[in-house]
Amino acid sequence: MSITNHEDLAGIKAVSEAVGVTLKKMRDYAQPGMSTLELDEYGYEVLKQYGANPAPKLTYGFPGYACISVNHEIAHGIPSAKVILKEGDLVNVDVSAELNGYYADNGGSFILGQDVQQLGPLVEASKRILQKAIQQIKGGVKISEVGRLIETEAKKAGYKVIRNLVGHGVGRSLHEEPSEIPNYYDRFNTSRFKKNSVVAIETFISTKAALAQESGDGWTYVTKDGSFVAQHEHTILVTDGAPIILTEANQIWS
């Protein structure tokens, strides 16, 4: 969406704070021995305190309030009483919501407890690359050039990017134009970021795989080759200078 008045700005800031705080609190609440269903239900209680509605369920009928993906799951993992978090798990929580007709989206991967799988460098690379990418975004910048930066930085760190999961516009619905903000350089994408637009920028940084594959449950994306993937995401407002990070309350860079 394009922010054209104070009402729109206040609306997008309010829902962005709701999803940002929810993501942070879910990350802090997660512990070994807990099911992903319990973590999801906790997050829903936080969203309800803001009067916000979980966007995946509202928009797509997703069987959960947030997407919670563990280890070789990349995205859209379904919260389940059967999935018990363990020490050292790579956990991704993606929270999006609607509040008073406005939508925001954010996510982050983290290691639960001790880094027994030695995935700390992957998580830190994803955070660092997202931060660097966002710093380059302003009105008029080619979307493909930000994709090139993400892909180049991933390669420098010894990683790959997932090519079939992308960032997107957001605001009056969960997914808007621009419909694709890839993690790689697409020379056929001539679109540019527009001043005053709201977009969800996300990294998908992989130890090996370049593509996400459907798991068979209709929702979850996984790696089939044993790869791990770290994702981090902010909803931002594009300006003619430094972008405004609307979901900064998630503290994914802390």
Binding-site annotation: residue ranges: 76, 94, 105, 168, 175, 202, 233
Distance CA 39, CA 41 (A): 6
What's the start-to-end Cα distance of the chain, in Å? Answer: 28
Tokens for 194?
Answer: 């527009």
* DSSP E strand stretches across the chain: 53-54, 67-70, 73-75, 90-99, 102-111, 160-161, 167-169, 176-181, 198-206, 213-214, 221-222, 229-237, 244-245
CB 73 within 8 A of CB 212: no
DSSP 3-state of 160:
strand
CB 103 within 8 A of CB 171: yes
Query: Which residue ranges make up the annotated binding site for substrate?
Result: 76, 175
How many Cβ atoms sit within 10 Å of the Cβ of residue 16? 30
Distance CA 228, CA 222 (A): 9
Residues 36, 40, 41: CA angle, nearest 5 degrees: 120
Query: Which residue ranges make up the annotated binding site for a divalent metal cation?
Result: 94, 105, 168, 202, 233
- Judge residue 197's burial from the number of C-beta atoms within 10 Å of its C-beta, 0-12 exposed, 13-18 middle, 19 or more buried: buried
Length of the chain in terms of residues written: 254
CB 176 within 8 A of CB 169: yes
